[in-house]
Amino acid sequence: MSISTNDLKNGMALNLPEGLMTVTDFQHVKPGKGGAFVRTKLKNFRTGAVIERTYRADEKVPLAMIDKREMQYLYRDGTDFVFMDNNTYDQIQVDPADIGVAAQFLKEGNTAILPTFEDQVVGVELPAAVELVVTETEPGFAGDRVSGARKAATLETGLVVQVPLFVETGETIKVDTRTGEYLARA
CA 178 from centre of chain: 7
At 147, is the pLDDT very low, low, confident or very high (cuts 50, 70, 90)? low
pTM given for the model = 0.66
Do 98 and 135 belong to one domain? no
For residue 178, give the CATH number of its domain.
Answer: 2.40.50.140
Question: In 3-state terms, what secondary structure has residue 108?
Answer: coil
Distance CA 138, CA 142 (A): 13
Q: Which domain holds residue 117?
A: 67-121
Residue 44 near residue 64, CB atoms below 8 Å: no
Do 116 and 135 belong to one domain? no
Do 136 and 180 belong to one domain? yes
Element (H, E) at 107: none
Distance CA 173, CA 86 (A): 26
For the chain, what is the radius of gyration of the CA atoms? 21
Task: Using alpha carbons, select from 89, 158, 81 the residue that is nearest to residue 121.
Answer: 81
User: Structural domain tally of the chain?
Assistant: 3
Do 27 and 51 belong to one domain? yes
| pLDDT tens figures, 90-114 | 888 888 877 777 888 888 888 888 8
